[in-house]
Amino acid sequence: MTYRPLVVRVRYATLVATLVTAGLVAGVLPAAHAANRPATKHSTDKVAEAIGGALPANGVARVNNVVITQDQLDQAMRATNAPDTPALRTSIKNQLIARELFRQAAEKQHYESRPQVVAAIEQAKTAAMTAAYLRDQVKPVPVTDADVKSKYDAIVGTLGESEYKPSAIAVKDADTAQTVLTQLKKGTDFSQLAKQYSQGPGAAQGGALNWISFKTPIQPGNTQNWPQPLAEALVKLPQGGVSSAPVQVGDVYWILRVDEKRPTQIPQYDQIKDALRKQLEQVALEKATAQVVVDLMKNARIQQQ
């Protein structure tokens, strides 16, 4: 496939996304419980009565006077994205107990009034309030099946008979580009030179780029977001061919190589329609969000330096 849709995924924070002491808690709390385990079942009942009676129906633990509920445990379990096992549930429950112990100890010492805590609370409040506002105000235009099919057809219409697997070296000055070309002519490995000199995409991977196809002759706007001079240079190279001279785009000098060339492979519509829909939905979301910003700016006084 020559087209790779950009799918922006939005991820929300979860109850136990990161617990710094997870490993410590899982290992230490059971041992602490064992060291302080009541001698008999009767003594356990007396302790429960002393701190507020038996656990409520939905409770899995009580830390002093605070009940940890089954819903909290279930939510924390889902956040792990791991198989639900008794051992993991015990570990997660211990982590929740430890977190509540930390919270109570911090509250007892009035950490809530510390400047960094107040600032963090305000930031969290602002983020939650903003997210709720945007959910209510941003109304993206629904993406229809016809929209998705039209996008698919438009992409296919930009593809040529052949597709290319290129590598590229991008440098900031002509002298460095000439140095690279000279070393290539001496037989130095392209990938090695890309890692050493390139400041362009894929440099850490030896300059390797994704498969790409262009309808020829190259037309403005039908270059799969490639600069037109690069697209024109690429389609002229045979498989294994390397640019004989740098291709200048703005202030960057590019050296291209065609690692592979093959007839264009177009996936069936059903194979990529879901990915295309997500891309279109993201575009619609961004457009609707931008409109909300524009509307708010109309009645706002904004000063900038």
Check whether 17 has a pLDDT greater than 50.
no
Check whether 11 has a pLDDT greater than 80.
no
Over residues 68-81, the mean pLDDT reads 96
Whether residue 85 is found in the same domain as residue 169: no
Q: What integer pLDDT is reported at residue 270 of this predicted model?
A: 95
Whether residue 169 is found in the same domain as residue 243: yes
Query: What is the Cβ-side half-sphere exposure of residue 277, based on CA atoms within 13 angstroms?
Result: 11
Q: What integer pLDDT is reported at residue 224 of this predicted model?
A: 87
| Whole-number average pLDDT of the chain | 85
Question: Both tokens of residue 249?
Answer: 């785009």
Q: For 215-255, give the DSSP string.
A: -SS--TT-STTS-HHHHHHHHTSPTT-B-SS-EEETTEEEE
Q: Residue 67 and residue 101: Cα distance in Å, rounded? A: 12
Q: Tell whether 14 is covered by a domain.
A: no
Q: Tell whether 116 is covered by a domain.
A: no
What is the per-residue pLDDT across 172-208, written as a single tens digit (0 to 9) for each? 999 999 999 999 999 999 999 999 999 999 999 999 9
Q: Tell whether 171 is covered by a domain.
A: yes
Q: What integer pLDDT is reported at residue 305 of this predicted model?
A: 87
Q: Tell whether 2 is covered by a domain.
A: no
Whether residue 88 is found in the same domain as residue 64: yes
Number of domains the chain contains: 3
Whether residue 146 is found in the same domain as residue 279: yes
Whether residue 173 is found in the same domain as residue 186: yes
Whether residue 251 is found in the same domain as residue 166: yes
Q: What integer pLDDT is reported at residue 21 of this predicted model?
A: 36
**What is residue 164's three-state secondary structure?**
strand
Length of the chain: 305
Over residues 4-8, the mean pLDDT reads 30
Give the least confident one: 41-55, 64-78, 188-202, 212-226: 41-55
Phi and psi of 215, rounded to 5°?
-75, 125
**What is residue 93's three-state secondary structure?**
helix
Whether residue 144 is found in the same domain as residue 205: no
Whether residue 253 is found in the same domain as residue 206: yes
Give the least confident one: 48-62, 124-138, 193-207, 231-245: 48-62
Question: Both tokens of residue 22?
Answer: 């997870």
CA distances from 187 to 67, 160, 192, 193, 240 (A): 70, 32, 11, 11, 13
22 versus 211: the higher-pLDDT residue is 211
Collect all residues with Cβ–Cβ distance below 8 Å to 254 and sequence separation of at least 6.
168, 169, 170, 200, 230, 233, 243, 246, 247, 248
Q: What integer pLDDT is reported at residue 238 of this predicted model?
A: 95
Instruction: Give the CATH number of the domain where residue 174 resides.
Output: 3.10.50.40
Q: Tell whether 73 is covered by a domain.
A: yes
293 versus 13: the higher-pLDDT residue is 293
Whether residue 232 is found in the same domain as residue 284: no
Q: For residues 265 and 272, is the Cβ–Cβ distance under 8 A?
A: no
What is the per-residue pLDDT across 18-55, written as a single tens digit (0 to 9) for each? 333 343 333 333 333 333 333 334 433 444 444 457 89
Q: For 11-58, give the DSSP string.
A: ----TTS--TTHHHHHHHHHHHHHHT--SSHHHHHHHHHHTTSSPPTT
Q: Residue 293 and residue 208: Cα distance in Å, rounded? A: 38
Whether residue 290 is found in the same domain as residue 217: no
Whether residue 249 is found in the same domain as residue 274: no
Check whether 262 has a pLDDT greater than 80.
yes
Whether residue 164 is found in the same domain as residue 259: yes
Q: The domain containing residue 27 runs over which residues?
A: 22-109
Q: For residues 161 and 133, is the Cβ–Cβ distance under 8 A?
A: no
What is the per-residue pLDDT across 89-105, written as a single tens digit (0 to 9) for each? 999 999 999 999 999 99
Phi and psi of 5, rounded to 5°?
-65, 145
What is the per-residue pLDDT across 277-301, written as a single tens digit (0 to 9) for each? 999 999 999 999 999 999 999 999 9
Residue type, 131: A
Q: Tell whether 181 is covered by a domain.
A: yes
